[in-house]
Amino acid sequence: MEVKMTGITKSFGHNSVLRGVDFGLHAGEVHALMGENGAGKSTLMNILTGLHTADSGEILVNGSERTFANPKEAEVNGISFIHQEMNTWADMTVLENLFLGRELKNGIGWIKTKEMKAQAKGVFAELGIHLDLNRDVGTLSVGQQQMIEIAKSLMTNAEVIIMDEPTAALTEREIDVLFTIIEKLKSRNVAIIYISHRMEEIFRISDRITVMRDGVSVATKNTKETHNDEIVRMMVGRDLEDYYPEKHAEIGEVVFEAKQLGQEKVFKNISFQVKAGEIVGFSGLMGAGRTEVMRSIFGIDPLDEGELYLEGEKLLIKSPHDAIRKGIGFLTENRKDEGLILEDSICDNISLPSIDGFKKHLLIDTKAEHDFADMLMKRLNVKAMTREDPASSLSGGNQQKVVLAKWVGIGSKVLILDEPTRGVDVGAKREIYQLMNELADRGVAIIMVSSDLPEILGVSDRVLVIHEGKLAGELSRTEATEEKIMTLATGGY
């Protein structure tokens, strides 16, 4: 299948997300789609698969103009989208998942399990997948679930498969299996649109690369004729030094120290220090245990062993309440589920961790609370009509600023930021970096977990790399490079 998208534009309200994108796909190629978060990759793919309609522009499928009404219609017509959050049903078996919604039935609706099994086995054999069809999908690894999704799309005769960050949660071995499958798909003349941030993979698997930035397609290159630096330059659009604001904070005494932290089967022997004014970046593959370390420091999950010290004083943290009282703030990676109460107002969200401080004669001092929220909204430049707007009405970047405002509001001495710029547009990203620098200036010790390597390199004073629950190494700002971090993150030396 040949797909050609030309001059695609799309706005959501006043926010123009795509401003003229060209994208072409040949049958049987792996075409990498790259760009920063917020560059418009997902929107473009959602337009192709009919979730959104383009404001203008043209989509040609095999030479004739074609738009799909919804993702289901796109799928029937051979375009499948495998999302990062997978569409599998944990309590159903592999077989049930494969045929969900299109079970083979006889005249009275009886499901023909035998035929379904035969078909599934055929596809599995072709892709080289070995999985028990009767197993519950919930018991499978993310990589295995992904294979089910790929098999599913083949069974609907997909000619184009879009994979969004397919390796984000995979182990090295699973990545190898995935790439073997991709090769097999190519030989069947299936085209793959491969969305990923990982340079190494892109160069290993793709035939062509299209880079997007701020809603436009910058260029399409043959993978063989380009190199790492060129792609990064096209993605960022300026030199890294410009993109990340310069940091001047003076680095002071050790504020926070973790000694020999461990949690059974998750992480072990994690020790590190963070000084006043310092930003320490935590890198590593997804599932390496970075987030888990932070969650247990903050008292969300229990710490099986190890000690925490704040300004030399030993901490006993059993719940987030304890951590907050000691002056630790934690922006979790999951803004919507853990960071915000979406239906509540911006003001209520900002004041929530500090609410006990607004007690005056048993009642809440509403005026003080409002002043507090207004002050923080102004300081963090939260763009909203009023403080009473529900948090759900804000854009991703502004929602993230509200979560940050909560933790700035408690006067955090230690601020843990887990993927602080995930799902945040480029402009707001820079504002968040600036705010981090400003907090560092005031002596806050900042820990940043990020899967975004350029961000880790651009923001951190020091980089700690976690591999399979252990500290794999430490790199200073001057030493750190993407290659060195990736080597440590994948268990190399």
What residues make contact with other proteins under the rule CB under 8 A? Answer: 298, 300, 319-321, 323-325, 330, 332, 337-344, 348, 352-353, 355-356, 358-359, 362-364, 370, 374, 377-378, 381, 383-388, 406
Judged by beta carbon, residue 130 or residue 321, the one nearer other proteins is 321
Name the minimum Å distance from CB 365 to other proteins: 10
Residue 120 or 323 having the CB closest to other proteins: 323
Q: How far apart are CA 414 and CA 380, in angstroms?
A: 18
State which residue, 239 or 356, has the beta carbon closest to other proteins. Answer: 356
- Of 331 and 459, which has the nearer Cβ to other proteins? 331
Nearest approach in angstroms of CB 303 to other proteins is: 16
Least Å from the CB of residue 14 to other proteins: 15
Minimum CB separation from other proteins for residue 384, in Å? 8
In the complex, least distance from residue 172 CB atom to other proteins, rounded to whole angstroms: 32
Token pair recorded at residue 316: 């006993």
Nearer to other proteins, 25 or 384 (CB): 384
Closer residue to other proteins, CB minimum distance, 418 or 455? 418
Which is nearer to other proteins, 166 or 299 (by Cβ)? 299
Q: Rank residues 230 and 301 by Cβ distance to other proteins and give the closer one.
A: 301
Residue 399 in tokens: 């929602």
Q: Minimum CB separation from other proteins for residue 359, in Å?
A: 6
Least CB distance to other proteins at residue 427 (A):
15
Query: In whole angstroms, how close is the CB of 320 to other proteins at the nearest point?
Result: 5
- Give the separation between CA 459 and CA 441, rounded to whole angstroms: 14
Which positions ≥6 away from 473 have C-beta within 8 Å?
A: 464, 465, 488
